[in-house]
């Protein structure tokens, strides 16, 4: 297949590499739906919120601070609810969960979009490597905290990445979650993104017998603020060649919007998608025992974080 054919071809879903979030929702009305999107102030999250709101959904847009969330929400047309959710701060995540409950928001979908990538040096939150904590533990807390608010047909969409294949050979390094025994920018990003797939798999297993679904997606490679931590040369190359060689943000947001909303996926759960089609992830991403262990370890981490009073969110 030539590059041109690859970029323009469509998969079994009728969508493909070049499809945009607007195209995958063409003709859909999301009026009456409420969808929470983390990281709504930048890149794929911002475009996801814009398109969902344009299709009539009420979008609960979360960002690290309520000021950022408000600014992002004010920038799109439609119905939005700005909330703070700093994923590396358990008190902020709990406060976000409480705010959703207090507002009585019933969620049709939760799109766990926020993330950080390839931090050049080891950084930690609450004793854990920061990408694992932000990308996985923060979202684990948020989603499990919001399950009572998720509608009976609700969908959970985890933003993973093709970079989940960069995770350590043994999958999740349960004996090195603090990075003390070794750290690699891409390996640890990969581990956090493998955790996103495993979390979706285990959630899907727990949803079996219900109409709720959980899936993971790779959005493609898109030049966004995600490259801010990369080495400056790579970041520069992304900036220069990105518009020519990579997906646009409109295309990058398509897969998560598709999986969160498309009527044909109402009963599709426990899968990994790229370019709006099902793709096989790395083999151990399908390992049920690994997924279950990650869930149990994550529950232990969250329990040990304690239950300090939630800070105020708007």
Ligand X SMILES: NC(=O)c1ccc[n+]([C@@H]2O[C@H](COP(=O)([O-])OP(=O)(O)OC[C@H]3O[C@@H](n4cnc5c(N)ncnc54)[C@H](OP(=O)(O)O)[C@@H]3O)[C@@H](O)[C@H]2O)c1
Which residues are tagged catalytic?
A: 183
Give the relative orientation of helices 254-261 and 43-54 as an angle to the nearest 10 degrees: 40
Closest CB to ligand X among residues 93, 265: 93
Parallel, antiparallel or unpaired: strands 58-63 and 124-125: unpaired
- Backbone angles phi and psi of 277, in degrees to 5: -140, 160
Closest CB to ligand X among residues 173, 196: 196
Chain centre distance of CA 23: 20
Q: Within 10 Å of residue 33's Cβ, how many Cβ atoms?
A: 21
Minimum distance from residue 29 beta carbon to ligand X (Å): 26
Whole-angstrom distance, CA of residue 91 vs CA of residue 36? 18
Minimum distance from residue 157 beta carbon to ligand X (Å): 11
Angle at 47 between CA 36 and CA 163, to 5 degrees: 85
Whole-angstrom distance, CA of residue 222 vs CA of residue 237? 12
Nearest to 268 by CA among 208, 220, 219, 218: 208
In the complex, which residues of this chain contact ligand X (CB under 6 A)? 39, 41-45, 63-64, 68, 85-88, 113-117, 134, 159, 161, 218-219, 221-222, 224-226
Minimum distance from residue 275 beta carbon to ligand X (Å): 12
Parallel, antiparallel or unpaired: strands 58-63 and 80-84: parallel
Minimum distance from residue 208 beta carbon to ligand X (Å): 26
Closest CB to ligand X among residues 32, 232: 232
Output 62-67 pairs: Cβ under 8 A, ≥24 positions apart: 62/36, 62/37, 62/38, 62/96, 62/114, 63/39, 66/313, 66/314
- Spell out the residues 6+ positions from residue 65 whose beta carbon is closer than 8 angstroms to its own: 84, 86
Closest CB to ligand X among residues 64, 201: 64
- Spell out the residues 6+ positions from residue 126 whose beta carbon is closer than 8 angstroms to its own: 88, 90, 133, 305
Minimum distance from residue 239 beta carbon to ligand X (Å): 13
Closest CB to ligand X among residues 255, 269: 255
Closest CB to ligand X among residues 115, 171: 115
Minimum distance from residue 111 beta carbon to ligand X (Å): 10
Parallel, antiparallel or unpaired: strands 150-159 and 213-218: parallel
């Amino acid at each position: 297949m030539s590059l041109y054919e690859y970029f323009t071809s469509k998969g079994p879903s009728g969508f493909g590499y070049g499809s945009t979030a607007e195209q995958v929702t063409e003709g859909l009305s999301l009026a009456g739906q409420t969808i929470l999107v983390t990281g709504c102030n930048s890149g794929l999250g911002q475009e996801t919120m814009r398109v969902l709101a344009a299709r009539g959904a009420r979008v609960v847009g979360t960002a690290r601070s309520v000021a950022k969330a408000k600014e992002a929400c004010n920038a799109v047309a439609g119905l939005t609810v700005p909330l703070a959710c700093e994923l590396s701060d358990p008190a902020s995540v709990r406060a976000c969960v409480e705010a959703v409950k207090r507002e009585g928001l019933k969620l049709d979908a939760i799109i766990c979009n926020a993330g950080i990538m390839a931090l050049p040096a080891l950084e930690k939150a609450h004793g854990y490597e920061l990408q694992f904590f932000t990308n996985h533990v923060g979202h684990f807390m948020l989603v499990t905290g919001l399950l009572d608010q998720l509608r009976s047909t609700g969908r959970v969409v985890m933003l993973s990445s093709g970079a989940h294949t960069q995770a350590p050979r043994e999958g999740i390094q349960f004996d090195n979650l603090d990075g003390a025994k070794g750290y690699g920018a891409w390996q640890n990003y990969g581990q956090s993104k493998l955790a996103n797939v495993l979390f979706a798999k285990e959630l899907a297993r727990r949803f079996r017998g219900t109409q709720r679904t959980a899936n993971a997606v790779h959005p493609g490679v898109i030049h966004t603020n995600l490259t801010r931590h990369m080495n400056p040369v790579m970041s520069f190359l992304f900036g220069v060649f990105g518009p020519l060689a990579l997906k646009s943000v409109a295309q990058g947001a398509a897969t998560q919007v598709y999986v969160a909303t498309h009527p044909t996926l109402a009963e599709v759960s426990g899968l990994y998608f790229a370019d709006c089609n099902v793709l096989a992830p790395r083999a151990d991403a399908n390992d049920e025992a690994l997924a279950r262990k990650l869930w149990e370890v994550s529950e232990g981490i969250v329990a040990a974080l304690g239950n300090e009073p939630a800070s105020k969110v708007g």
